Structure 1
Amino acid sequence: MRAEFEYGEPDVLRVVADLEAATARPADQQDDTGWTSCGSRGLARRDRTPSGRIRRVPRLRRAVILAVLALIAGGLAALAVADPFHLRYARWFTAGFVLLALLLATATFAVVARRGLARVLVLALGAVAVLGWVALVGLASQLTVANHTVSQVADGGRRLVVVEGAPAAIDPIYAVVLQAGSGPFEQETVIYQGVEQAPAPAGVRFVDSDTVEVRTSGGCLYRSEVEALTLAVDPVHRPLRADGC
């Protein structure tokens, strides 16, 4: 019995020494098997994330940010189309926001697409959409008719302006618009829209802070209420005959 104990004693001592060495290992040290020592709490498996997945997280985050920005630009473009504040240059805001939305959408899909043919195809389609929109806006701007100011009456920061259109017709068309402010956020709304062969309005005036009046050469009198903030007009007068009210 004594001999058997002495024969097994070195193995016991070696096991104890190995356990002491494992316990003394730093908490964040990893051995060759992929396990990380945690002091007296034992061993824990380290989460091995593939390097491709680590790179994918920032890419998806960029795609989400670009997509959100594209949605915001699209929402602003829709707001410019609705034009609740009657901005004089609303069409240019619409054109700019649509262009920005197209660029952001193209960038979003380019980030999501893997490198190679898919990304090239996304960029090509985005370029076609952007160039097509720019060409459409340029063509529309060439077709826009410029108005000529005939007369105007000012009241503080607001102006009643009689304008003469220049369509492809023998007789010009006259209109009365209300303008407010200046710069890119200048507001403009129609008060009176005449017909061909109708003469220019004989007079326009501000009745009070919320009411404007248009008087034609035929003796017709048109009054409209104006909302101060949005410049909404009620009603907008559009006579159908040149010789009647």
Structure 2
Amino acid sequence: MASASTDALATHPGPVLEAFRDRLAADDRAGEVLLALAGATAPAPARGAAALVAAYAARAGRRPGGAAHTAACVDRGLDRGPAARAVLLPLVTGVLRAPDGACGRPALAPVLVGPGPPPSHPLRDELLGVLLDVCPEDEYGTLGAHLEAAAHTCEARPEPRTRELVLRTALLLTRTSEGSARWQRRIVRLAGEAPAFAELLAQWLARAPQEWSGLTGPALRRAVVARAGPIPVRADGPGHGSLRPA
């Protein structure tokens, strides 16, 4: 349906957009409609499609599956790389900053963290910056989804990018005692689930022990050792990093 509808959108934008507006209002197979809208590339249809997606996203939190449908639409749009920036930047920023943004941010977090094709990386990183800037430190669903995605897709992105994603999330979570406890439990579990991620943790703990010392406890170190082997000790003194909380 998405492919045929996208083709029709390019040749008959007015009637197709009107039909899509009615279907979204009725929540009639909204996920398929949004994927079709995400495929619009010609300037005029793309602007109309973006307006429909934005209107749907504004009320997505009040519809079953609405946040997931919006996130899938954004994911497809991001794969278009820089060509999608003019449409996606205001759209996603609006969802992230909305008063009820807590409804949409957990679904968008794994999409923005996802590795995606290289042309999508700059826009993903820019939108991730917005998400982490506006996400409250106690919005554990969003931060947890962010961390899970970063860990389970770590082999598909450059190591420095994964490190920054994980460290910035840790710095947010550990601002509160409950967040710190959640961070410790989740990171221990992820180290056990994802061997590649455990190996990265071992590297980070060895390379910059002071930077991670306040974020890791004995349980995490045991989990890392169980998966990746003993953590080597630096001979040239403690390392350091440059990432700081937003």
Larger Rg: 1
Q: Same fold (TM over 0.5)?
A: no
Higher helix share: 2
Higher strand share: 1
TM-score using structure 1 length: 0.19
TM-score using structure 2 length: 0.19
